[in-house]
Amino acid sequence: MFNSLSDRLTATFKNLRGKGRLSEADVDATVREIRRALLDADVAVPVVREFTASIRERALGAEVAAALNPAQQIVKIVNEELKDVLGGATRRIRFAKHPPTVIMLAGLQGAGKTTLAGKLGKWLAAQGHKPLLVAADLQRPNAVTQLQIVGQRAGVGVYAPHPGTTSDADVPTGDPVQVARDGVTEARNKLHDIVIIDTAGRLGVDAEMMAQAADIRAATSPDEVLFVIDAMIGQDAVNTALAFQEGVAFTGVVLSKLDGDARGGAALSVASVTGQPVMFASTGEGLDDFELFHPDRMAGRILDMGDVLSLIEQAERSWDKAEADRMAKKFADQEDFTFEDFLAQMQQIRKMGSMKKMLMMMPGAAGIREQLENFDEREIDRVEAIVRSMTPHERVASKIINGSRRARIARGSGVTVSEVNQLMERFTQAQKMMKQMARGGGVPGMPGMAGPGGFNSPRKKGKNAKSAKGSRSGNPAKRAQELAAAQARRERGSQPVNTGAAFGKDAGAEDFDPAALNLPAGFEKFLGK
């Protein structure tokens, strides 16, 4: 959604790197580029003016002039201003003191209210609530049927006493206000603690729709009125939001279709113009593609700083703790990483959702966006097919997979032998890395870690490397001390390690400590006295 805006802002900040001091001309040029980027993203003009004016005032102030890195300070200012434009702090649902909590959805037709009702219901049910969806949209054809299907898929109850219309030729019958009122009564009688009312929408803002929505609000006294707006609506988002604010006085905003390729100006405009925060965001077509809106995290995504916290929360929701504990124990015991473990880890990752979305939450993902866009999600399916084409013995003993076995695996999984070879090569590298980490050597190639390429790994001797044979100290006393210490180490090293008998037990055998041998984990059981 914010790809274009993110790219423009990132390119603007690159021009500031390496400058120890920013002149007024540098600040003006930066603010000008930010203004153009926001306007291109369909952000409302009043919001752009206020946003850039605040940035320029702060950028020319003392906080940037006194900063060690002015460029980073500018990015910090833009980040803070973006958070304010998006609503400041995270806004959560205000629950009623006496259940049920009534949540009313309002918005234009096509904004995705009915689907979002199911997403919100499933999200609340996962938190231990018992929501009830109320089908108060009796005018759009098959809206009631759609809500019933969505509720069934989400595992949430639906109250739909009236079938609504089934085609554009049908004349709308039934009273949506009475349906909404009865839905609240039904929830109270059936001990539902939350009611989500799906109301009718229109192709445009009109008095009849607003009057109906206002009547439903007056009849049900909702605790929250959520305005559902299509994030791809563009500049018209402000006018629509102001009309709904005047008609139904909504208390929060929900952005739908945030996974689209539009410019995303609605998200930056609505909260600032109406004064009501963005509370939720719909990020896909699936019922699980729904999340609480965090202004600080969204600002981080726009500025290509990543959203690691959301990624962690997503992993915590989907990760199997028992499987994680099993892998941790296996890792601690230094057992071999097998294809069975590889398959289990792949299934855990797939539960987290789209691989593209997860990778785009990482800091600096904008630099590899093109590669991510070209990434084929079906690649994971092909890898899983290859592993499942192996026999149980081959999965735990991958060294036995020779040429003929690889050809059989390729035929069974519908891929080429070269793809099987590539997977085997990557798996062998993963095994080596797991062993290296289990031995405490760290990740190979990572700075500060032991192992090949790390800071603690042995390096080739260069012309400036110190020789192990002597001392290079220019102080005669210190050089003599180092030579004496080296001689003492050589004398200690020349002593026999084991002074006991070759067979039987000598007098000092009682003091033998197997831990001193630094044996692999679990090997002590073979050293019984």
Q: Which long-range CB contacts under 8 A does 374-381 form with residues at least 24 apart?
A: 380/346, 380/349, 380/350, 380/355
pTM given for the model? 0.61
- DSSP strand E in 79-192: where? 101-106, 131-135, 157-159
Q: Is residue 461 part of a domain?
A: no
If asked whether residues 184 and 240 sit together in one domain, one would say yes
Q: Which two tokens stand for residue 29?
A: 């040029």
Q: Which CATH number characterizes residue 401's domain?
A: 1.10.260.30
Report residue 150's pLDDT band, with 50, 70 and 90 as the boundaries: very high
Asked if 24 and 130 sit in the same domain, the reply is no
Give the least confident one: 283-287, 342-346, 461-465.
461-465
Residue 499 within a domain: no
307-321 average pLDDT score: 63
Instruction: Look at residues 519, 85, 112, 165 and name the one whose alpha carbon lies nearest to residue 289.
Output: 112
CATH code of 28's domain: 1.20.120.140
> Within a domain: residue 175?
yes
Shared domain for 365 and 260, answered yes or no, is: no
Q: HEC states along 56-89?
A: HHHHCCHHHHCCCCHHHHHHHHHHHHHHHHCCCC
Tens of pLDDT, residues 430-471:
777 777 766 665 444 444 444 444 434 444 444 444 444 444
Alpha helices in 197-236 (DSSP H): 207-220
Could you tell me the two tokens for 338? 């097998």
pLDDT in tens, 55-100: 888 888 766 656 557 777 778 888 888 888 877 778 889 999 888 9
Question: What share of the chain in percent tops pLDDT 70?
Answer: 66
The annotation status of 413 as a binding-site residue, yes or no, is no
Candidates 221, 238, 218, 220; CA nearest to 229 is 238
Task: Consult the annotation and say whether 198 binds a ligand.
Answer: yes
Same domain flag for 24 and 163:
no
86 CB-side CA count, 13 A: 26
Which CATH number covers residue 285? 3.40.50.300
252-256/157-159 β-pairing: unpaired
298 and 425 inside one domain:
no
- Cis peptide leading into 70, omega within 30 of 0? no
Q: Is 199 annotated as a binding residue?
A: yes
Averaging pLDDT over each range in 128-142, 341-355, 365-379, which range is the top one? Answer: 128-142
Confidence of residue 311 (pLDDT cuts 50, 70, 90): low
**Mean pLDDT, range 251-270, rounded to an integer:** 74
Question: Is 243 annotated among the ligand-binding residues?
Answer: no
Last residue of a domain, one of 284, 305, 326: 305
Q: Is 107 annotated as a binding residue?
A: yes
Q: Is 297 annotated as a binding residue?
A: no
Averaged confidence pLDDT in the chain: 75
Residue at 61 is within a domain:
yes
Tally of domains in the chain: 3
In 190-335, where do the E strands start and end? 194-198, 224-230, 252-256, 278-282, 290-292
C-alpha span between 141 and 163 (Å, rounded): 10
- pLDDT for 444: 47
* 470 in any annotated domain: no
198 and 103 Cβ atoms separated by less than 8 Å: no
Among 259, 282, 305, give the residue marking a domain's end.
305
Q: Is 110 annotated as a binding residue?
A: yes
Q: Which of 279, 305, 331 is the last residue of a domain?
A: 305
Give the closest residue to 248 by CA, choosing from 224, 265, 273. Answer: 224
Span 373-420, pLDDT tens digits: 666 667 778 888 898 899 988 888 888 899 899 999 999 989 899 999
Region 365-369: what's the mean pLDDT? 58
pLDDT classification of 167: cutoffs 50, 70, 90: confident
Same domain, yes or no: 208 and 128? yes
Residue 501 included in any domain: no
Q: Is 300 annotated as a binding residue?
A: no
How distant, in Å, are the alpha carbons of 205, 254, 294 from that of 241?
Answer: 10, 11, 20
In a domain, 329, yes or no: yes
Q: Do strands 224-230 and 194-198 pair parallel, antiparallel, or not at all (unpaired)?
A: unpaired
Q: Give residue 402's domain range.
A: 314-438
Residue 529: pLDDT band by 50, 70, 90 thresholds?
very low
Phi first, then psi, for residue 400 (nearest 5°) are: -85, -5
Using CA atoms, how far apart are residues 525 and 120, in angstroms rounded to an integer?
55
For residue 372, pLDDT over 80 is answered with: no
Q: Is 200 annotated as a binding residue?
A: yes
Whether residue 6 contacts residue 50, with contact meaning beta carbons closer than 8 Å, is answered with: no
Residue 429 annotated as lining a ligand binding site: no
Instruction: Let me know: does 484 contact 478? Beta carbons within 8 Å.
Output: no
Is 108 marked within a binding site?
A: yes
Q: What amino acid is encoded at 63 in this protein?
A: E
Instruction: Give dist(CA 9, CA 419) in Å, integer.
Output: 39
Both 158 and 287 in one domain: the answer is yes
pLDDT, position 2: 61
Helix (H, G, I), strand (E, B) or coil at 12: helix
Is 109 annotated in a binding site? The answer is: yes
Residues 23, 150, single domain; the answer is no
Together in a domain, 339 and 415? yes
Whether residue 477 is contained in a domain is answered as no
Per-residue b or e along 172-198, where b marks 16 or more CB atoms closer than 10 Å to that residue's CB:
eebebbebbbbbbebbeeeebbbbbbb
Summarised one tens digit per residue, pLDDT across range 26-43 is 888 888 888 888 887 778
Task: Say whether 259 counts as a known binding-site residue.
Answer: yes
- Confidence check: pLDDT of 113 > 50: yes
Tell me if 112 sits within 8 A of 255, measured CB to CB: no
Cα separations in angstroms, 35 against 64, 296, 467, 517:
20, 20, 60, 67
Please tell me whether residues 172 and 236 are part of one structural domain: yes
Going by their DSSP bridges, the two strands 252-256 and 131-135 should be labelled as unpaired
Same domain, 148 and 292: yes
Residue 397 annotated as part of some ligand binding site: no
Verify that 358 and 420 share a domain, yes or no: yes
Contact 155, 135 (CB under 8 A): no
